[in-house]
């Protein structure tokens, strides 16, 4: 059995938009998206002591290798990074095409995603990839088990839980409630350096440059602006009397 986990390298701290490109500024420090760490952890738990292969897949610049290496240090067996200048600026449509092309080559029985990415919170990429792969998809997985060519998922909803069964191959987006990701051990960190790591271009996955980046994207950012003013907002500096100042403000507005 093979499990592929799609992960993302996201900016650390407060994300900023580059006004010249109207894209997220990814020049600073980055880290493995914490929702994706749950997906990696779940893949390792499903693997257990079996001979299942866990491969982590990502799309991004060369520095995204850092996040893939963390996944390898956690216990994943192999990493694949799609990194090509022509892919810069890919929106959801183009990104899903590139990931689906790489996953087609992997022919994994199970593809896992984190529920969303902390730099965009779109929570739809997994659905777009599943559509391209023509595979069943389950989201918000709080529990996951695999047996005899099928999977069972306990799915979180606002009204409780659904229990869904699906044949393999399939795509599953896991919630952060599914597990607690392990910390890479020193042995794992050292061992990650020796594990297979493939960096692929668009040509390697069979995608034309015109189908990636801005050329292959179906959405465009037309402009950026500051959020509207909040009107007569009052800022209170805490010099030891902040609580009283807030109470006075609420009393002035007849809210207490």
Fold type of domain 2-216: Rossmann fold (3.40.50)
What band does 186 get if pLDDT is binned at 50, 70 and 90? very high
Q: What confidence category does residue 29 fall into, taking pLDDT thresholds of 50, 70 and 90?
A: confident
Number of helices (H), then strands (E), in the chain:
7, 13
CB burial string 220-252: b at 16+ within 10 A, e below: eeeeeeeeeeeeeeeeeeeeeeeeeeeeeeeee
Domain ranges of the chain: 2-216
Tell me the residue length of the chain: 256
E strand or H helix at 4: strand 2-6
DSSP type of residue 130: H
Encode pLDDT of 123-139 as tens digits: 899 999 999 999 999 99
Secondary structure (3-state) at 21: coil
pLDDT tens, position by position, 230-241: 777 778 888 888
Rounded to two decimals, what is the model's pTM? 0.85
């Amino acid at each position: 059995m093979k499990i592929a986990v799609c992960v993302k390298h996201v900016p650390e701290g407060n994300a900023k938009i580059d006004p010249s490109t109207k894209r997220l500024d990814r020049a600073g420090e980055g880290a493995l998206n914490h929702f994706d760490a749950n997906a990696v952890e779940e893949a390792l738990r499903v693997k257990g002591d079996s001979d299942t292969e866990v491969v982590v897949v990502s799309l991004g610049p060369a520095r995204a290798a850092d996040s893939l290496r963390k996944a390898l240090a956690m216990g994943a067996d192999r990493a694949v990074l799609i990194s090509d200048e022509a892919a810069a600026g890919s929106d959801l449509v183009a990104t899903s095409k590139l990931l689906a092309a790489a996953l087609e080559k992997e022919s994994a029985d199970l593809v896992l995603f984190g529920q969303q990415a902390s730099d965009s919170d779109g929570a739809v990429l997994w659905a777009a990839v599943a559509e391209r792969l023509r595979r069943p998809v389950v989201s918000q997985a709080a529990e996951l088990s695999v047996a005899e060519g099928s999977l069972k998922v306990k799915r979180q909803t606002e009204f409780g839980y659904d229990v869904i069964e699906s044949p393999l191959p399939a795509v599953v987006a896991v919630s952060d409630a599914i597990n607690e990701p392990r910390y890479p051990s020193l042995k794992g960190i050292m061992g990650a350096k020796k594990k297979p790591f493939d960096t692929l271009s668009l040509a390697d996955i069979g995608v034309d440059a015109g189908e990636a980046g801005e050329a292959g994207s179906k959405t465009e950012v037309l402009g950026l602006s500051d959020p509207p003013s909040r009107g007569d907002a009052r800022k209170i500096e805490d010099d030891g009397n902040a609580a009283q100042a807030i109470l006075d403000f609420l009393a002035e507005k007849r809210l207490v």
